[in-house]
Amino acid sequence: MNHTQHYTLCFSCPDRVGIVARVAGFFAELGGWILRSSQHAEEDDNRFFMRVEVRADSVDCGLAELRRRFATIADECEMDWRISDSAVRKRVVILVSRQKHCLYDLLERWESGELDIEIPCVISNHDDARGLVEWHGIPYHHVPMGGDDKAEAWAEIERLFLESGGETMVLARFMQILPPALCERFAGRIINIHHSFLPSFVGASPYRQAWTRGVKQVGATCHYVTAELDQGPIIDQDVVRVGHGDSVGDLVRYGKDVEKAVLARGLRDHLEDRVLVNGRRTVVL
Amino acid sequence: MNHTQHYTLCFSCPDRVGIVARVAGFFAELGGWILRSSQHAEEDDNRFFMRVEVRADSVDCGLAELRRRFATIADECEMDWRISDSAVRKRVVILVSRQKHCLYDLLERWESGELDIEIPCVISNHDDARGLVEWHGIPYHHVPMGGDDKAEAWAEIERLFLESGGETMVLARFMQILPPALCERFAGRIINIHHSFLPSFVGASPYRQAWTRGVKQVGATCHYVTAELDQGPIIDQDVVRVGHGDSVGDLVRYGKDVEKAVLARGLRDHLEDRVLVNGRRTVVL
Amino acid sequence: MNHTQHYTLCFSCPDRVGIVARVAGFFAELGGWILRSSQHAEEDDNRFFMRVEVRADSVDCGLAELRRRFATIADECEMDWRISDSAVRKRVVILVSRQKHCLYDLLERWESGELDIEIPCVISNHDDARGLVEWHGIPYHHVPMGGDDKAEAWAEIERLFLESGGETMVLARFMQILPPALCERFAGRIINIHHSFLPSFVGASPYRQAWTRGVKQVGATCHYVTAELDQGPIIDQDVVRVGHGDSVGDLVRYGKDVEKAVLARGLRDHLEDRVLVNGRRTVVL
Amino acid sequence: MNHTQHYTLCFSCPDRVGIVARVAGFFAELGGWILRSSQHAEEDDNRFFMRVEVRADSVDCGLAELRRRFATIADECEMDWRISDSAVRKRVVILVSRQKHCLYDLLERWESGELDIEIPCVISNHDDARGLVEWHGIPYHHVPMGGDDKAEAWAEIERLFLESGGETMVLARFMQILPPALCERFAGRIINIHHSFLPSFVGASPYRQAWTRGVKQVGATCHYVTAELDQGPIIDQDVVRVGHGDSVGDLVRYGKDVEKAVLARGLRDHLEDRVLVNGRRTVVL
């Protein structure tokens, strides 16, 4: 991430001649100093994706005006687009169950300033992590989900998320299946870390599944949550080598390191507006 | 691999107190200098696995006598066991279709002495690789498999394999599904390289499947062939990182490097009698 | 790690015929159920290394008696040896400077029970981490090291380490060079995580050195501390891919994940008595 | 690589506002369909790097005219630049010593069409590989280098390279140190694969050096050759895990796989005009 204040434009649109020229020309006219720019053309469905970081102090207008002016090009090119300001911290709500390794990891990154975000609250179906979270000065909400009817709990979680101004919801090993309606309402805003190298070992106990199948590497996958379990677009994934001598418990332990690293990388890509979804695939610019 | 001539014992048996002491004591009495020894206990089904390399010149008897003497312990402990002599080259028959990268790779390892084996022949359903193989002084058999009834072709392949004294059959990207009866007849002796990180993307066009799913790593798996397609015990597997900018063709290209390395490692483990099968898992000692 | 209570024997000695038989025979006579055993022969200097885990409840005597009886074999074979009891928690003192990612990581592993150790105290040359450490119920000692003469500070650290009954000292990104005498006094007991793939980029600012050299992977190395800076025997190391677009800050960030994972793996190997030092090399059984 | 015929522009120049707009605008005016574009700004020395692939059939002029027209922008922006045509095969001369694994690997990639290049000849200081190379229909030159005075041999190699119209020289495990003058004459055109993870283990016997130091991973580095031994800009590198049980010979064997893959990737990046050198660093677009 660039530490100079910058605006980040990202968009996708039908591919045709001249898009880069239009966008680059637009910024050049404003005196915009481009810090970073990347693009991708998906040939199969003729779609174009682009992301541009431009120094805020090089542009002769504010964010609102920048958006207003860019809208003309965006309309002409039929873009899905957004422009964000690096000076505005994103608001990330973390959901967690009993396992706390991803939570510790995110808290350290937040505490050290590596993750330059607001964490308005942490939500959990257990009360275990309250002390740690509150010690960090972050509000903690315990929403029990023990019973058969979880609808009320989910409604409460949604209310807490909205009330806290949450933009992104991170399931940092939150071992509960989200209701489809919630997934759809916040499409592209809920990030999960699944403890397997998807599409292998969907669902429960993936490390035990991996052990039983005798694979020689285990992994983790960071993906957007969709209504279909563990089928959302993959942002990042990685693996680690294991052997016949490793028990299920050893796989769990090795996997924790991969989970933490992959979730952190995927979340960061998301927060830096690098991830554009294209059906079941992601473009990470 | 140790280059001193050695005998390799490997076995599995029900676990109980004293097995290592029996085996180590047996060799110590013969004056056997142990070069390498490794073992594994599978707690779930209480089975013990062991592999020992002993210097041939330290043992005061020949291989036949060694086997005869060891049989007593083996019987008592209900072992599945074998003893091999590193001075006897294993006979490996290679099957290949149109793609030749694994073939080139194996030929180089054989030519340089890295793989210290006999290759009595190469068999293919195409005639493309004849020149390269024969230039290396290895007989080449073209067995067309175009028609609907492949039974005759498979019978011919089996005949060629047996006639050439083949012990191990390597499917070095041989894009044909083996008849179940053949798989069973040569259980634990047929090695395949599948071009995906199993259990993901079984069957045809795994790289296209991987691209469509948008995974961020692609891999390859070396496994024993069983009657169930791509479900055999895994010997080795590895992956390589890919991104949204990589086409299916790029995945194929990256994958080739992984396929070559994984097949070579898995084959070598097999040839050095390191691999013991336990149901759907392998123990690689 | 096996969760059944067990005794772990590890030793090295001059290699000769019959060592395994002696050791395995010794345990068999006691009715010892071997959970795990591994060995290694270093041909270059004819030295043999072995590690055995035996179930505590299968041996018909206590630890003291076990040691007494084993001493006979150990003497005959000229072994460097030790036997530990998995039920006795090792005492690990953590030293840390300003960067807290390794500290957070170790605390989480301790809190979740993954690392089954005692942490009698954390020592730092800064006061930053006090709150976090004390929140975990662990004593925190601030030993400033700002001046030119650090001898007094080091004496204080040594005193605190000994007073707390510390067995292992972990430099979890403790950015101070240890006095040679201290390194020698606690040889094989001080573990450091260096933020480069040694032997590349010894000393200060390894990520900047790596960036300047334009390497395409950065890494981290867990090693025993010796009097020679960053030259001690390596326990574990790993790398992560980087590219031209990554700044020094990005390298630092990627590196953190590798540091945490490598330190945790190396420390665990050490605590499970898997690591035997042989000159500048380690044998990790 | 894109299989549609395309022109590839790559350049570096002092960074300033408007470069992308100028370049993209230039192509848009010609109707140029951009297949791929990537750029990088090196903040430390304020230099900008860019690479653009444009469909040949979308541009309304030929290559010569394209170059002529672009020269105006290039001059204004003080660019180091080149435009190449994907339809023109690059000419790559391979140098090899006794070890043939990289040679086999490159020949397979060439034979299968993966590497779409001309190989006008292979040069070696041994005669071992003649048969294999000539079987592929490629001329082979044996230039002995046994004596003390190698100047004549190097002059002969340079003559053969130039005479064959060679553009890129690949040292595919050519175990001879190039004279500085040659390195300078063909700066950015000679690619070497060094069998270590540079900057570790420069010079001779890197695997033995690695073994002696007890590292836990070994690697390979593909780099441009400069007058200073093993110090040239790195194009790509990778590693593979090793352990205490691996002999120097095992390290050599594992390393071969990394060498082949890294050389192939680095060479391909070079041939696709992706690599721009910036002092001791490379930008791989």
CB count in 10 Å sphere of residue C272: 20
What beta strand segments (E) does chain C contain? 6-14, 34-42, 47-55, 80-85, 92-96, 122-124, 140-142, 168-171, 190-194, 217-224, 234-241, 275-278, 281-284
Chains with 3 or more CB pairs under 8 A to chain D: A, B, C
pLDDT at D8: 97
Evaluate whether D240 touches D250 at the Cβ level (below 8 Å): no
Element containing residue A94 per DSSP (H, E)? strand A92-96
> Which residues on neighbouring strands pair with residue B277, listed in sequence order?
B282
Q: In this predicted structure, what is the pLDDT of residue C147?
A: 81
pLDDT, position C146? 85
**D1 pLDDT higher than 60:** no
Per-residue pLDDT tens over the stretch C58-102: 998 899 999 999 999 999 999 999 999 999 999 999 999 999 999
CA nearest neighbour of A146 among A172, A175, A170, A121: A175
User: Domains in chain B, please, with CATH?
Assistant: 6-85 (3.30.70.260), 92-284 (3.40.50.170)
In this predicted complex, what is the ipTM?
0.95
CA distance A245 to chain B (A): 7
Instruction: Tell me the two tokens of residue C212.
Output: 């300047």
D214 vs C contacts (CB less than 8 Å): 233-234, 280-282
> Among D105, D230, D236, D269, which one carries the catalytic annotation?
D230
* Structure tokens belonging to residue A151: 């609808």
- A30 close to D (CB below 8 A): no
Quote the pLDDT of residue D43.
86
Helix, strand or coil, per DSSP, at residue C200: coil
Helix (H, G, I), strand (E, B) or coil at C79: coil
Query: Which residue numbers in chain C have pLDDT < 50?
Result: 1
DSSP-assigned letter for residue A179: P
Residues of B classed as catalytic: 230
- Residue A91, Cβ density class (10 Å: 0-12 exposed, 13-18 middle, ≥19 buried): middle
- Set of chain D residues whose Cβ sits within 8 Å of the Cβ of A41: 34-36
Instruction: Kindly give the confidence (pLDDT) of every residue in chain B, 285 residues in length, as a single tens digit, with 9 standing for 90 and above.
Output: 456 899 999 999 999 999 999 999 999 999 999 999 999 999 888 999 999 999 999 998 899 999 999 999 999 999 999 999 999 999 999 999 999 999 999 999 999 999 999 999 999 999 999 999 999 999 999 999 988 889 999 999 999 999 999 999 999 999 899 999 999 999 999 999 999 999 999 989 999 999 999 999 999 999 999 999 899 999 999 999 999 999 999 999 999 999 999 999 999 999 999 999 999 999 999
Distance CA(D161)–CA(D171), nearest Å, equals 12
3-state secondary structure (DSSP) of residue B192? strand
Instruction: For residue D103, give how far its alpha carbon lies from the nearest alpha carbon of chain B (Å).
Output: 9
pLDDT given at position D276: 97
- Which pLDDT score, from 0 to 100, does residue A246 have? 95
- In this complex, is the C-beta atom of D241 within 8 Å of any C-beta atom belonging to chain A? yes
Residue A91 confidence (pLDDT): 98
> For residue range D127-140, what is the model confidence (pLDDT) as tens digits?
999 999 999 999 99
Mean pLDDT value across chain D: 95
Q: Which residues of chain B neighbour C241 with C-beta distances below 8 Å?
A: 241
**3-class DSSP assignment, residue D234:** strand
Joined together, the tokens standing for residue C105 give 């990581």
Give yes or no for a contact between D122 and D130, defined as CB atoms under 8 angstroms apart.
no
A44 is an active site residue:
no
The answer, for D45 touching chain C at a CB cutoff of 8 Å, is no
pLDDT at residue C44, rounded to an integer: 85
Chain C partners within 8 Å of D236 (Cβ):
216
Q: Is A132 on the interface with C (CB under 8 A)?
A: yes
- Amino acid letter, residue C186: F
Considering only CB atoms, A217 lies closest to which of B40, B215, B237, namely: B237
Q: Which amino acid is at D207?
A: Y
**pLDDT above 60: residue D151:** yes
CB contact under 8 A, B38 and C34: no
Q: What is the pLDDT of residues B49-92, one digit of tens each?
A: 999 999 999 998 899 999 999 999 999 999 999 999 999 999 99
Structure confidence at residue A148 (pLDDT): 81
Q: Could you tell me if C234 lies within 8 Å of chain D, comparing CB atoms?
A: yes
Quick check: A233 contacting B, CB < 8 Å?
Answer: yes
In this prediction, residue A68 carries a pLDDT of: 97
- In this prediction, residue C189 carries a pLDDT of 97
Q: Do D38 and A33 touch (CB under 8 A)?
A: no
Given a contact cutoff of 8 angstroms between Cβ atoms, the answer to whether D51 and D10 are in contact is yes
Among A17, A34, A37, select the one facing D28 at the smallest CB separation: A17
Confidence (pLDDT) at A214: 96
Q: What averages of pLDDT result for each successive group of 10 residues across chain A (285 residues)?
A: 84 95 94 93 92 94 95 97 96 97 98 97 97 98 90 96 98 94 96 96 94 96 95 97 95 96 98 96 97
D25 touches chain A (CB under 8 A): yes
Mean pLDDT on D64-86: 97
Query: What confidence score (pLDDT) does residue B2 get?
Result: 55
How many secondary structure helices (H) and strands (E) does chain C include?
8, 13
